[in-house]
Amino acid sequence: MTTTYGTAVQPMRSVDDLDSTRTPRVRDDALDVSVVIPTMNEALNIAEVLKVMPPVAELIVVDSESTDGTVEAVLEQWPDAVIIRQGRNGKGAAMRAGFAAASRENIVAIDADGSMDPREIPAFIAMFERGFDVVKGSRAACGGGSTDLTPLRAAGNRGLCTLYNVAFRSNMSDLCYGFIGFRRRVLPSLALYADGFEIEAQILCHAQLAGMRIAEVPSLELDRIHGETNLRTWSDGYRVLKAILRSRFASGREIWRFRDVERRESEALAGVPRGDRLRLAAPTLTP
């Protein structure tokens, strides 16, 4: 069962007074959350996102070989950010690397292109405090919306969301939207192995299989600030479809797919000094 709540966006806070050193420091008013942001050539966009990011305990940026100064743009505004460098292995691989590095009890993933408002993060924290395990932003919930959703993507999202709800006897209002978070303690039970945009659907599918409590909060999707999206409507939609069907009709094999990917990624990092592992990512591994 999914619960939907309405909540107002919190007031904007400044990040100007963050420590200018690379020594990690948590502000007294920081939200107890690790925010994970996958990036690939998003320098102009992420600079704008971080301007309105509320103080958070940990910011993790997983960068996929950006050549436009994305990492430098992050560190200029958020010197304490944890930077993970990886190859161009897909959004899912980047998010999984960020989740593995997170140290706070609450984890929220957000895109770097400016389409998601980080000032909505407190709504996610409020749901965690109410006892929910997974919290999903919804453009279809009362108070949510989108200025970026094309008719084709909207139709595809509705179809996939309907399939998900029928398959899992759920009542989600939005599926293909990457503003999502969960409690860190449930990460092992989520058994994530997806490499692409289907990671968001896999989180929800596996959460349902594990009997976790899921909540939705309204979210307003805005237009991307600069550049073109990396989303490929047909191919990524097919990957989401496959993730739903695998999870629902071959759920017994999901844990083995996860363990196989986990084993191979561990082997890929064998011999790497422990201190360097946050700066490396395993190659793409297709189960």
pLDDT of residue 274 exceeding 80, the answer is no
Question: In sequence order, what are the residues at sequence separation of 6 or more whose Cβ sits closer than 8 angstroms to the Cβ of residue 273?
Answer: none
Please compute the mean of the pLDDT values over residues 202-231 and round it to a whole number. 88
Higher pLDDT, 260 or 202: 202
Q: Give a three-class secondary structure readout of 249-273.
A: HCHHHHHHHHHHHHHHHHHHCCCCC
pLDDT of residue 89: 78
Q: Domain ranges in the chain?
A: 28-270
Please name which of 68, 129, 113 lies closest in space to residue 223, comparing C-alpha atoms: 113
Per-residue confidence band for 231, with pLDDT thresholds at 50, 70 and 90 = low
Q: Please tell me the CATH code under which domain 28-270 is placed.
A: 3.90.550.10
Per-residue confidence band for 86, with pLDDT thresholds at 50, 70 and 90 = confident
Please compute the mean of the pLDDT values over residues 74-79 and round it to a whole number. 94
Integer Cα distance of 276 and 191 in angstroms: 24
pLDDT of residue 24 exceeding 50, the answer is no
pLDDT of residue 80: 92
Integer Cα distance of 50 and 69 in angstroms: 15
pLDDT of residue 10 exceeding 60, the answer is no
Integer Cα distance of 61 and 97 in angstroms: 10
Higher pLDDT, 198 or 8: 198
Please name which of 229, 222, 186 lies closest in space to residue 204, comparing C-alpha atoms: 186
- Which structure tokens are listed for 69? 């100064």
Note the pTM of the prediction, 2 decimals.
0.80
Instruction: Name the one residue in this structure whose structure tokens are 């709800």.
Output: 165
Supply the mean pLDDT for the chain.
82
Per-residue confidence band for 90, with pLDDT thresholds at 50, 70 and 90 = confident
pLDDT of residue 102: 96
pLDDT of residue 171 exceeding 70, the answer is yes
